[in-house]
């Protein structure tokens, strides 16, 4: 990563990440969560925003810890000189224990066997590994099931393993985004009982945590010692209305530039399969972005883009590297004009959540799906301060 002044002009399709928005979101969430600590979830390259820049910003604005899904993501942060505790929330396979230990990552364990194997690896390397015990209270994913008949004994045995330090116990909620789902209450009740049982046995892991973004915002009882927001850090919706209600700011904009404008007669087919045929004399703009960049093919003949401050429809199929939009009603449009896929232009805005709606998915999938081929530009005070990755083609 270098200052933008030192790099050559990049391709005309890029993502802008507003670090001030990330900072604002972290501070807003930290204020809500206090006295609980905030662990910024930066898995999947910071939900597509760039893990290192998001992590640095989050840590500078109140986050105390980071969480990732896989060991390599943690290693990447360490190699970028990030020294805070980093939790790997996913399953770490035994062949990555050495790597995780070397880079001082905290790991998640879901069973006693896993904890034993990990402790043994740590002893072999002359190290201590910090672990968080995951409890499955109803998500049905990783974790020791809450109704395990001897959960407290298992936890006690894990805590007693040499080479291992049990620093946390946590669970993950399946329905925290849905105020009507009875499962959330049940999961929290189960977790509460487990925490109490551990307490009775004098086993009080430093960090008890349960709250993703939705739970942090909606459920004060889920905050415990540590909250684990992801999506809300980025200013996207953990549930509908959250961004407005909690004054979160979307950090990511995705832009491109018009590559070509052409006037075509009625009856002109556009793109593969000729699924769109102009019904009137039309102006069609070609944009140099496609599904290989993460502009999903499901948006063919469905999505919209902002050009000249107006919404214009995607026409025909989204190609691997290009897409066409109908700018007949958009006023003057010239080659090089900016087109916005996600973000603001004039008085109009398209959010990742709106784009997600067009293809029946969630904002999470939209932003994590923006391809590595798309450079990320980082802004502070509205000005670019860094770019990543530098193109290997230069």
Ligand X SMILES: *Cc1c(COP(=O)(O)O)cnc(C)c1O
Binding site for ligand X (CB under 6 A): 41, 43, 89, 172, 212-213, 228-232, 238
Of 298, 285, 292, 307, nearest in space to 369 by CA: 292
Nearer to ligand X, 229 or 290 (CB): 229
Q: What are 86's two structure tokens? A: 């980093």
Instruction: Indicate which residue of 47, 134, 272, 378 is catalytic.
Output: 272
Q: In sequence order, what are the residues at sequence separation of 6 or more whose Cβ sits closer than 8 angstroms to the Cβ of residue 115? A: 109, 131, 133, 158, 161, 164
Does residue 62 contact residue 24 with C-beta atoms inside 8 Å? no
Q: Residue 212: what are its φ and ψ, rounded to 5°?
A: -80, -170
Identify which of residues 141 and 157 has a Cβ nearer to ligand X in the complex: 141
Q: How far is the CB of 384 from ligand X (least distance, A)?
A: 27
Q: What is the DSSP string of 339-385?
A: EEEEEEETTEEE-HHHHHHHTTS-HHHHHHTS-TTS-EEEEETTEEE
- The enclosing H or E element of 39 equals strand 37-41
Question: What are the residues whose beta carbons fall under 8 Å from the beta carbon of 347, sequence distance 6 or more?
Answer: 309
Q: How far is the CB of 134 from ligand X (least distance, A)?
A: 8
Contact 309, 346 (CB under 8 A): yes
Residue 104: CB minimum distance to ligand X, A = 20
175 or 212: CB nearest ligand X: 212
Q: Which residue's C-beta sits nearest to ligand X?
A: 230
Note if 272 is an active site residue.
yes
> CB of 43: closest distance to ligand X in angstroms?
6
CA distance 156 to 170: 15
From CA 64, how far away is CA 301, in angstroms rounded? Answer: 44
> Would you give the DSSP letter of residue 229?
-
Residues annotated in the binding site for substrate, as ranges?
141, 320
Residue list, annotated binding site: 141, 320
To ligand X, the closest distance from the beta carbon of 231 in angstroms equals 4
Indicate the residue among 174 and 342 with the shorter CB distance to ligand X.
Answer: 174
| φ/ψ of residue 118, rounded to 5 | -70, -45
Token pair 């019904």 is at which residue? 279
Indicate if the alpha-carbon torsion angle 380, 44, 209, 75 is positive or negative.
negative
Q: Report whether 97 contacts 120 (CB < 8 A).
A: no
CB-nearer residue toward ligand X: 38 or 339 = 38
Q: How many Cβ atoms are within 10 Å of 300's Cβ, its own excluded?
A: 23
What's the chain's length in residues?
A: 394
Nearest approach, Cβ of residue 365 and ligand X (Å): 12
* Catalytic-role residue among 43, 234, 291, 364: 43
Query: Is 262 part of the annotated catalytic residue set?
Result: no
CB 55 within 8 A of CB 31: no
Whether omega before 250 lies within 30 degrees of 0, making that bond cis, reads no
Question: Which residues are part of the catalytic machinery?
Answer: 43, 272
């Amino acid at each position: 990563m270098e200052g933008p002044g030192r790099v050559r002009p990049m391709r005309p399709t890029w993502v802008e990440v507003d670090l001030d928005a990330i900072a604002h979101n972290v501070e807003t969430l930290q204020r809500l969560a206090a006295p609980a600590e905030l662990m910024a979830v930066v898995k999947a390259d910071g939900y597509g925003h760039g893990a290192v820049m998001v992590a640095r910003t989050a840590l500078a604005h109140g986050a105390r810890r980071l969480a990732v899904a896989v060991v390599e993501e943690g290693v990447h942060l360490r190699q970028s000189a990030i020294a805070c505790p980093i939790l790997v929330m996913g399953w770490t396979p035994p062949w990555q224990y050495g790597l995780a230990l070397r880079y001082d990552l905290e790991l998640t364990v879901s069973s006693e066997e896993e904890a034993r194997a990990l402790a043994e690896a740590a002893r072999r390397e002359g190290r201590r590994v910090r672990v968080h015990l995951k409890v499955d209270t109803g998500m049905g994913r990783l974790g020791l099931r809450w109704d395990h008949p001897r959960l407290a004994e298992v936890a006690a045995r894990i805590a007693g393993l040499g080479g291992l330090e049990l620093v946390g116990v946590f669970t993950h909620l399946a329905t925290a985004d849905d105020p009507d789902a009875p499962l959330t209450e049940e999961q929290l009740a189960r977790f509460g009982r487990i925490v109490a049982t551990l307490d009775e046995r004098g086993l009080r892991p430093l960090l008890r945590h349960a709250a993703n973004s939705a739970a942090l915002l909606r459920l004060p009882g889920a905050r415990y010692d540590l909250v684990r927001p992801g999506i809300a850090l980025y200013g996207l919706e953990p549930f509908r209305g959250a961004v407005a209600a909690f004054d979160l700011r979307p950090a990511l904009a995705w832009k491109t530039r018009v590559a070509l404008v052409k006037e075509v007669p009625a009856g002109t087919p556009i793109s593969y399969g000729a699924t769109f045929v102009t019904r009137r004399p039309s102006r069609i703009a070609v944009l140099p972005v496609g599904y290989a960049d993460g502009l999903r093919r499901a948006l063919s003949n469905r999505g919209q883009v902002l050009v000249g401050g107006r919404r214009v429809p995607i026409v025909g199929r989204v190609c691997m590297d290009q897409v066409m939009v109908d700018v007949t009603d958009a006023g003057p449009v010239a080659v090089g004009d900016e087109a916005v896929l996600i973000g603001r232009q004039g008085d109009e805005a398209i959010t990742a959540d709106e784009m997600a709606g067009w293809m029946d998915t969630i904002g999470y999938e939209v932003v994590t799906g923006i391809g590595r081929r798309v450079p990320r530009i980082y802004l502070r005070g509205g000005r670019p301060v860094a770019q990543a990755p530098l193109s290997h083609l230069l």
